């Protein structure tokens, strides 16, 4: 059976000179991130090119995605959510494009690289900290001191709150990474079953057909996971932003 981890190997596509010790070569991961960004841009340009009051098919899909995230920022952050909508929507569209592109056979899944998801996670938390300090100044630290906690357990609660804040980018990165890697490994392993069972003769072919059905079902599930993980990333970005935007009511 083919190695299920082979699909995540990084290969150099275009060699570029190193700048200040950093290798700036375009790898297959970077290439597919560029393709994802380009396809998002092209999709929304095409969806809004012939904007009509009664939307066509393409425009409907674009509007559905827009409304999904708009409702999210509106319901979680409140009426100030509009300011953060572009950031959340960009994150959502970019991750969704990377996840969905990865579902096409022989295409590379950029979100299966921990370096990519960790960068996205750190970006979210950096924006949260920047917004927190910009809006509240040093009052940002009130985030770690929940109100209504008895005085003598406060030191413990503050430590737990600080740790839970610092773990956020880690969980953001690992969730996306783990889901994409896990899903693709399962698909590959089941695909391997089909081939190795089919080589066993007549009874094996019956078994292979059952496994093939399973693989089709798992592929459908993975499409849902690809969408859901992008959505969950957007939801969590909103929740973390809401913590610092509406700090007074925390």
**What residue ranges bind another protein (CB under 8 A)?**
5, 72, 75-76, 171, 174-175, 177-179, 181-182, 228, 231-232, 235-236, 239
Structural tokens at position 124: 């979210």
Structural tokens at position 105: 């056979």
For another protein, give the closer residue by CB, 47 or 112: 112
Element (H, E) at 12: strand 12-14
For another protein, give the closer residue by CB, 193 or 240: 240
* Smallest separation, CB 171 to another protein (Å): 4
* Smallest separation, CB 75 to another protein (Å): 7
For another protein, give the closer residue by CB, 41 or 119: 119
Kindly give, in sequence order, each residue whose CB lies less than 8 Å from that of residue 88, ignoring residues fewer than 6 positions away.
69, 72, 73, 234, 237, 238, 241
* Smallest separation, CB 147 to another protein (Å): 22
Distance CA(65)–CA(60), nearest Å, equals 9
Closest by Cα among 49, 77, 78 to 62: 49
For another protein, give the closer residue by CB, 87 or 177: 177
* Smallest separation, CB 93 to another protein (Å): 18
């Amino acid at each position: 059976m083919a190695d299920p981890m082979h699909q995540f190997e990084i290969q150099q596509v275009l060699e570029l000179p190193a700048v200040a010790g950093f290798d700036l070569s375009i790898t297959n991961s970077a290439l597919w991130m560029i393709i994802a960004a380009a396809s998002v841009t092209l999709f929304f340009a095409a969806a809004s090119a012939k904007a009509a009051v009664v939307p066509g098919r393409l425009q409907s899909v674009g509007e559905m995605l827009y409304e999904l995230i708009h409702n999210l920022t509106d319901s979680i952050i409140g009426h100030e959510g509009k300011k953060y909508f572009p950031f959340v929507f960009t994150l959502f569209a970019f991750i969704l494009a990377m996840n969905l592109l990865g579902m096409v056979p022989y295409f590379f899944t950029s979100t299966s690289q921990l370096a990519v998801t960790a960068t996205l996670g750190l970006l979210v938390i950096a924006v949260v900290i920047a917004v927190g300090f910009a809006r509240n100044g040093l009052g940002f630290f009130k985030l770690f001191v929940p109100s209504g906690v008895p005085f003598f357990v406060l030191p413990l609660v503050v430590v737990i709150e600080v740790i839970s804040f610092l773990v956020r980018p880690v969980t953001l990165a690992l969730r996306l990474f783990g889901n994409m890697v896990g899903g693709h490994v399962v698909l590959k392993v089941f695909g391997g079953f089909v081939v190795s069972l089919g080589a066993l003769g007549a009874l094996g072919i019956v078994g292979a057909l059952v496994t093939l059905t399973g693989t089709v079902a798992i592929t459908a599930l993975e499409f849902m996971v690809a969408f859901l993980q992008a959505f969950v990333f957007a939801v969590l970005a909103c929740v973390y932003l809401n913590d610092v935007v509406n700090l007074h009511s925390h």
